[in-house]
A = this chain, B = another copy of it.
Amino acid sequence: MKITLNKEAFSNGIKIVEKSTAQRGIQPVLSNILIETISDNKVRFCATDLNQTITLDLDANVEEEGKITLNAKKLNEISLKLQEKPIVISNDVDTNVIKITCGKSKFEMNSIGVSDYLQIFKDNKNEDENEKVFEINKEIFNKAIKQTMYCCAQSESASILGGVCVNIKENTLEVAATDGNRLTRVIKAINSKSQEETFIIPLKTLQEIARISSIVNDKDLKIKINKTKIYFIFDNIKFSSKLIEGIYPKYQQLIPTTNEKIVKIDKEELINSIERVSIMVNERTNIIKFMFEKNNLTLKADAPEAGIGSDELEIEYNYDDIVIGFNYKYILEALKNIESKNVIIEISTNLSATIFKPEDNNEQICLVMPVQVR
């Protein structure tokens, strides 16, 4: 192989595919990127960790065809340090040594496991006739994902709750996530011209898609799904991931619709008060007490060893006094994902699901379960 690439395209390319490699795995070749020539002016970078796979096509001057794999981490380090000059990558088939040259800088590395890599790719490819295709406005999709994915069960990537549940209908996109203690649901108007479909995307895939789609210029996301996999198709990038298989909990029935105590609070003031009081929170429980009284909210935290912290906010509240305990971290995350100036809190009892939502729309709701306090 002998190819010449533009420095910037090379660096950006490595950056895009690097995250899909498996840095610590039983198959060392998965920490490598496969580079292969696909025509006399195109090369393809491929990376996979077996759960997700990415390919990126780049312009290049191909003098000699070939396939090599190179350690992604080292390639990225090299690409960050090279001068702004054309990069020549060539290999010596006899010694298996790959040379990367850029100006007077030279690097030599061994290519390992091209055949292993190709076999993994082949095994991993399960084409399925029953594919469905959607096109969704990228910005709307990404925003819905961003507003929900913080609610996924973080440590359970393999379980149903370790992903975000996406429901696409002809005119609506509904996205939900829950970790059992809290739930977020977002509904957005779209125009997808497709049949209804529900699937669960793993958190790691969503983070990766958010990253990649912030780099590319495509206005719409082209999504293909089959029974086990999802494909995101951009201009020169194809990204695929396993879906989480199983049935997502029927979360709609968990969302209360009759919480009768309705409070409106300045969101930033509430965030600041919670952060202030949280200094004195018991770090084992993270509980802050929310004490609602006529036109007043007192927040209070109490850590036996450290002391007591409290703060007060003027609010509009004309119901019976109520004291509710929350894990303050859940409340802060919910508030920080709500965009309106004021937040609406809908309360029923001190042990039932409490709703946090923006003042100006019903698209987004965040539900947090209280914690029992004395």
Contacts and interface: CB of A to CB of B under 8 A. Distances in A.
A272 interface: yes
A105 B91 CA distance: 67
A343 to B, nearest CB: 19
Copies of this chain, how many? 2
Interface stretch (A167-175, A260-268, A307-315): A307-315
A310 B106 CA distance: 5
Interface in A272-320: 272-273, 275-277, 279-280, 306-313
For the side of the interface on A, what is the size category? 20 to 34
A110 B307 contact: yes
Contacts of A241: none
Contacts of A277: 105
B81 A276 contact: yes
Interface stretch (A58-66, A70-78, A361-369): A70-78
Given A107-B280, A280-B107, A275 B309 contact: no
Contacts of A310: 105-107
A276 B110 contact: no
Residue of A71, A104, A110, A277 with most chain B CB atoms under a 10 A cut-off = A104
Nearest to A275: B81
A109 B74 contact: no
A307 B105 contact: no
A307 B275 contact: no
A331 B56 CA distance: 39
Contact of A105 (B108, B110, B276): B276
A279 B109 contact: no
A223 interface: no
Contact of A279 (B81, B273, B306, B311): B81
A216 B105 CA distance: 46
A272 B81 CA distance: 8
Contact of A311 (B106, B272, B309, B311): B106
A108 B311 contact: no
Given A71-B306, A306-B71, A279 B77 contact: yes
A280 B83 CA distance: 17
Nearest to A301: B107
Contacts of A272: 81, 83
Given A106-B308, A108-B309, 10 more contacts: A74-B306, A81-B279, A82-B276, A104-B311, A104-B313, A106-B309, A107-B310, A108-B307, A109-B306, A109-B307
9 contacts: A74-B279, A74-B306, A81-B279, A104-B311, A105-B273, A105-B309, A107-B280, A107-B307, A107-B309
